[in-house]
Amino acid sequence: MTDIADTIRETITQNAVVLYMKGNREMPRCGFSSRVAGILNYMGVPYVDIDVLADEDLRQGIKDFADWPTIPQLYVKGEFVGGCDIVTEMTMSGELDALFEAEGIEFDKAAADKIRAANA
């Protein structure tokens, strides 16, 4: 398990935004992963997508690492942000914009505003 935890730690510290998901950004393999990837894609956020379905040890390892039972899991600058519900709520409230701005992550503010307007 240590090897998986070390791999996860290395990945989230070497990349500004990482999404552990089922499938990948082009072909998510669950609705929750699709929603979070869709938000990041629409907002133009540069991120690394990691398909947990490709490795059962990683799939369980990421759950243990964050002590979070579900996937997807979003990390920004090495910190666990949350899963689908939290990322969705943060997008709708503008908290995700604020986090990206505070961490110097590029994103399309107008696209974020469109998401909120379309779901108001």
pLDDT, one tens digit for every residue, the chain (120 residues)? 569 999 999 999 999 999 999 999 999 999 999 999 999 999 999 999 999 999 999 999 999 999 999 999 999 999 999 999 999 999 999 999 999 999 999 999 999 999 999 988
The CA distance from 84 to 106, in Å, is: 20
Assign residue 109 the CATH number of its domain: 3.40.30.10
Quote the number of domains for the chain. 1
Instruction: Give the domain range for residue 70.
Output: 2-118
The answer to whether 30 is a known ligand-binding residue is yes
